Structure 1
Amino acid sequence: MIGLCLGLAGVVWAQLPVSSFTLAWDHTVEKIRWEEDYRLTETGLVLEEARVRGNGAGMEIPEDARLEKGSWHYRRPIPPLQPLSLGRTPQAGDYQLCVEGDCHALSHWVGAPDINEPAIQLWTCTRGGDAQ
């Protein structure tokens, strides 16, 4: 069974039995919410759509984005990510992982951001944690 693994350098810290999720965070400077919807496939995480609630430093809205309910929606044509690498430090706050509208901070599964572990990776895996 396919699932989502969270960890670093192939070491699984947590595994979730999901087929899709939303990754959300607040921009560290602008404090604007950013969301990305991913679907799990055997080749990796496929970015389906992204949303941002405004623009600012390093947050340029793509020309083809459309405004819906206060957020700019757009798609980026990128290949599946395997893994998706995220910077994660106490100063920047934590990411949220949302499944079917239920959101929790990554710390819910893997502990609080730690300056000694400034990154985390997400990847598609099987029940034992092996990458697909």
Structure 2
Amino acid sequence: MLGLCLGLAGTLWAQVPTDNFTLAWNHSIEKIRWEEDYNVTLQGLVLVEARVKGTGAGMEIPDDAYFKDGNWHYQPKLPTLPILRLGRTPEAGDFELCFTQISGDIQCKAMSHWIGPPNKHIAAVEVWGCDNQAMTIE
């Protein structure tokens, strides 16, 4: 298992034991939930699918999206990401990480569970595969 690392500027704050995860959040203005499914690989993070419940400011649904179970589903066309940098402020709310536990149950927890609540002094977090060669923790 590779694992998911959370930190900033090369400093490791926490590790989450998973090879795939869902990153979820509510749009800061529209309050509509977004979800993105990622696989953790040796090359980086691969965005597999994204879902959004509706449209709004800056939330256009791609032409190839399909509607299922109350969400618009689509496959973003992005290269493998060595690092995913996320803005994180108290005003915008927190991200949620969901992953399958060894028992097979899906666990979802706010990112603050691993790294504390968002704050104004550190307004970002970086996410990467723990064994990703593009991001080495010294």
Pairwise CA distance, 1:2: 1.4
Matched letter for residue 11 of structure 2: V
Q: Which residue of 2 aligns with 1:18?
A: 18
Q: Which residue of 2 aligns with 1:92?
A: 92
Pairwise CA distance, 1:10: 1.2
1:104 aligns with 2:104: no
Q: Which residue of 2 aligns with 1:41?
A: 41
Pairwise CA distance, 1:130: 3.4
Identity %: 57
**Correspondent of 1:125 among 108, 117, 130:** 130
Matched letter for residue 105 of structure 1: A
Distance 1:55 1:17 in 2: 33
**TM-score, reference length from structure 2:** 0.90
Distance 1:112 1:40 in 2: 24
Distance 1:83 1:50 in 2: 18
Distance 2:38 2:19 in 1: 9
User: Aligned with 2:114: secondary structure?
Assistant: helix
State the aligned residue count.
130
Distance 1:39 1:111 in 2: 24
Q: Which residue of 1 aligns with 2:118?
A: 113
Against the structure 1 CA distance between its residues 2 and 42, is the aligned structure 2 distance closer, same or farther, given a 3 Å change threshold?
same
Q: Which residue of 2 aligns with 1:60?
A: 60
Q: Which residue of 1 aligns with 2:28?
A: 28
Structure 1 ranges of 4+ moved more than 2 A: none
Aligned CA RMSD, in angstroms, stands at 1.5
Structure 1 unmatched ranges of 5 or more? none
Structure 2 unmatched ranges of 5 or more? 101-105
